[in-house]
Amino acid sequence: MTNLAPPNPKLLTLAAAVARRAELRAAGKKIVFTNGVFDLLHTGHLYYLQQARAQGDALCIALNADSSVRALKGPLRPVQNETQRAYALGALACVDAVIIFNTPRLDAEIRALAPDVYCKAGDYTLEKLDPGERAALESVGARIEFMPFLPGFSTTALIARIKAAGEI
C-alpha cells in the first residue's frame, strides 16, 4: 500500500487543531468533534458527517491511525492507509479538520480540544461510550449527540460486495 497522498491542508496535528479551536472559540463558533475509522467512505459515512457538521460551525474528525484500525478490525484493515483516509475526509466540504490519533482512547484529545458537541452514529448509546471518553466529554461540558443511523451501509458490507463483484 502506497503512503502517497496529495497535500491535505485539513490534516492537522493536535497542537494545530487546538490552536484552530482557540481561534474559532474567540469568534464565537461552536466546534463539533467526532471520531472513527472511515476506511472506504460510503453513503452512511457521508450522511453521518453532514448530520454531525449541522450541529455546529466546524467539524473536527479524530481518525484512527492504521495500527488502531488493525487492532479493531483485523490484520487486513484498513484498506486505505491513514494518510489516504485523512485526504478523503479533508476533501469533504462538511469537514473542517482531521487529526490522526494513535491511542486506544480519545480522552486527551477531548480534553485538549474541548469541543462544544461530540457526535457518534445512532448505533451508539451513552452506555456504549467508553467511560473515560464520556468523563472527558462531561469535564469539558460537551453536549453528546447521537446522529441518525442510516441502516444498510457499512465498510465491511461494501468490501464483501466489491469482492463478490470481482468474482463475476
Residue type, 149: F
Does 71 map to a domain? yes
Does 4 map to a domain? no
Does 2 map to a domain? no
* Burial of 138 from C-beta contacts in 10 A (0-12 / 13-18 / 19+): exposed
Domain that holds residue 48: 14-166
Cα three-residue angle 111-155-3, rounded to 5 degrees: 70
Number of structural domains (the chain) is 1
Q: Is 44's pLDDT higher than 70?
A: yes
| CA 14 – CA 17 distance, rounded (Å) | 5
Write the CATH number for 121: 3.40.50.620
Over pLDDT 90: what percentage of the chain? 70
Does 7 map to a domain? no
Q: Taking the complete model, does pTM exceed 0.85, yes or no?
A: yes
Which of the four pLDDT bands, split at 50, 70 and 90, describes residue 165? confident
For the segment 24-43, what is each residue's pLDDT rounded down to a tens digit?
999 999 999 999 999 889 88
User: Taking the CB of residue 2, how many other CB atoms lie within 10 A of it?
Assistant: 7
Does 6 map to a domain? no
User: Which cell numbers in the block locate residue 138?
Assistant: 462531561
Residue type, 67: S
Does 139 map to a domain? yes
Q: Where are the alpha helices (DSSP H) in 13-99?
A: 14-26, 43-53, 66-73, 82-90
For the segment 92-139, what is each residue's pLDDT rounded down to a tens digit?
999 999 999 998 899 999 999 999 999 998 888 899 999 999 999 999
